[in-house]
Structure 1
Amino acid sequence: MEIVGAVGSLVTLLTAVLFYFGWASTDAETKALGLRDTVFHLSTSDYLLRSVSALYLPAWLAAGIALGTLGLLRWTAGEPERLARATRVLRYAWAVPLALVPLYPLSPWLFDLLLPLTAIGGLALNAYARTRGRRDLRLWGLTLFICVLSLFWAVSSYAAIAGRGRAELTERTLRGEFPAVVVFSEKDLMIRGGGSCFRHVTEKGSQYAYEYGGLRLFHVSGDRVFLVPRDWSPENGTLYVLKEGDGRRVDLVSGADRRARECLD
């Protein structure tokens, strides 16, 4: 039962970290794009899914560190004197993050990530060295509490870096890689500028009076579609929010030829 409880607690902590990372990275991404994540009404599953791809690298690094630590323990297990010397040194591992504090002004975004990571490693090694061969639940309890806080600090810092990176990628690839969109509407939606275009529909029998092109699909949430002009940028652009139905139709178009001819036909 203890093992089941430990596994359940670990899964709960992992889920909380994934959700927090998804929210924090999305918040940083949308702020960099001049928006806010609350605009898109993202669900819990959306935040969880958005966290997965960016966590591959940290997961591999954590696995590598864990394997390296196990290898080091096996290497020192057969040498009591070597292990004793290493233990004496590890008692001062807590000082490593403190030594980095004066360097923080040199690169705040980098040390916002390094400080909590070194705090986790330093405090865990310190607790191991000081409790080796005996039980000290108070020390380990305090250490785990600080490590969890440091973990969320590190996750927040890495999420901000990942979110800003996604925002830069969005800005670079919006015109060529986001789905192109054509909107038909009974009424004028006043979509203008930013590389978008519109024309009056003259075909007989059409229920729509206006056609809008040069748009890109930015996000979909329920029955709401978020569109931007193909030349949109965070500094100069408009996010259009349309509700499907209500006298309008949203078509997704594909192919390089269609993209090349949009707003020319």
Structure 2
Amino acid sequence: MTSVPEAGPGRFERFVDAGKAVIPPLTLLSALLFYFGYVSARSQYEYFGVDVDTIGLGTQDYIMRSPQPLLTPLLVFAAVGAGAVAVHAAVRRRIGDAASARPATRLGRGGQAAGLVALAAGLLLLSGYAFVRDWRLYGLVTPVLIAVGGTLFRYGSFVRRLGRPPDDAASPPLRRVSAALVYVAIAVSAFWTTATVAQWSGRGLAMYEASRLDKLPSVILDTKESLFLRSPGIQETKLPSVDGQTFHYRYRNLRLLIHGKDRMFLVADRWSASGATVVVPLDGSVRVQFLFQNQHP
């Protein structure tokens, strides 16, 4: 009895295995979480005039911040995926019930046409970056059009192949290369879209904090010399001269924005367009007190 040899892995499977050997999935996931957490944090603290690199956050800090900006994209991707599965099942039923290949050809051409229109619009926006870069929705609309267009075009091609005879199912190398390029464009567009959402999420979080600065930890700051702070609402008091006293000025109505590795970032307890963030080093040159919340236990 002759045994039938098992089919080996295809090119795509070999490519995926090679990618796993070069970049382990856990490392790739950690890098993505770090990047989106960094993008969100950078946008958040830019609102307060702070470069996030000066704070001194570590890799784990950015990874822990990534779930908040990724929540909306993941929910959208999951909903779109569920809808795509339902649409695909409906298309397969319609093609299977038909007595000819015309429905598959008609649906496939319609998907390809819609995909080309969306791709053309996205590429037009991409090529016109110098003219429309100030458009607030540019970073979201452009990648979404490219991703949707590429997906519709590839799915339309797939549907058209469903109506062909089995002998015509072979795919020439040029078609495989073009398909791979479309998939890369879709992946890059999805990455771009998620990064834009993470940036917006960070800015939204900053504006939410700015509207509720009184919820941040309250701080009293003592310094050796006057800081000449410009933010409205900050109260400066000169401490009485006492022998051995090295701190001469006290500042109230300050809130802790964030605590870095070796410094604190303080803001006034109410937002103002002329406000500023005070960077305080934790090296013994200042004295800091954190106040209890004004709520009786």
Would you say same fold, with TM above 0.5?
Answer: yes
If the length of structure 2 is used for normalisation, what is the TM-score?
0.70
Gap change, CA 1:118 and 1:181, over 3 Å in 2 = same
Correspondence 1:7-46 to 2 at 5 A = 12-46=27-61
Distance 1:127 1:55 in 2: 26
Distance 1:211 1:21 in 2: 39
Q: Is the 8 A contact 2:39 2:198 kept in 1?
A: yes
Distance 2:150 2:52 in 1: 35
Which of 165-174 and 243-252 deviates more? 243-252
Aligned: 1:139 with 2:178: yes
Q: What CA deviation, in whole Å up to 9, does each residue of 1:119-143 have, x standing for no partner?
A: 1122123223325455553123211
Gaps of 5+ in 2: 1-12, 162-168
Distance 1:205 1:240 in 2: 27
3-state DSSP of counterpart to 2:270:
coil
Root-mean-square deviation (Å)? 3.5
Distance 1:156 1:76 in 2: 33
Task: Tell me the CA shift for residue 114 of structure 1.
Answer: 2.0
Q: Which residue identity is paired with 1:87?
A: G
Q: Is the 8 A contact 1:181 1:250 kept in 2?
A: yes
Gap change, CA 1:142 and 1:11, over 3 Å in 2 = farther
Q: Is the 8 A contact 1:196 1:214 kept in 2?
A: yes
The count of corresponding residues between Structure 1 and Structure 2 is 255
Aligned residue number for residue 118 of structure 2: 96
If the length of structure 1 is used for normalisation, what is the TM-score?
0.78
Task: Tell me the CA shift for residue 69 of structure 1.
Answer: 0.8
Distance 2:179 2:87 in 1: 21
Q: What CA deviation, in whole Å up to 9, does each residue of 1:112-169 have, x standing for no partner?
A: 3122112112212322332545555312321122123322332333233223322322
Task: Tell me the CA shift for residue 13 of structure 1.
Answer: 4.8
Q: Which residue identity is paired with 1:90?
A: G
Aligned: 1:79 with 2:107: no
Task: Tell me the CA shift for residue 192 of structure 1.
Answer: 3.8
Task: Tell me the CA shift for residue 9 of structure 1.
Answer: 6.0
Q: What CA deviation, in whole Å up to 9, does each residue of 1:5-40 have, x standing for no partner?
A: 777766555444433332333333333333322222
Q: Is the 8 A contact 1:29 1:166 kept in 2?
A: yes
Correspondence 1:1-265 to 2 at 5 A = 12-80=27-95, 81=98, 82-92=103-113, 93-99=115-121, 101=124, 108-131=135-158, 132=161, 133-135=169-171, 136-174=175-213, 176-185=214-223, 187-188=224-225, 190=227, 192-193=229-230, 194-199=232-237, 200=239, 209-233=248-272, 235-256=273-294
Gap change, CA 1:241 and 1:138, over 3 Å in 2 = same
Distance 1:83 1:203 in 2: 90
Distance 1:137 1:153 in 2: 24
Q: Is the 8 A contact 2:119 2:150 kept in 1?
A: no
Q: Which residue identity is paired with 1:86?
A: L
Q: Percent identity?
A: 24
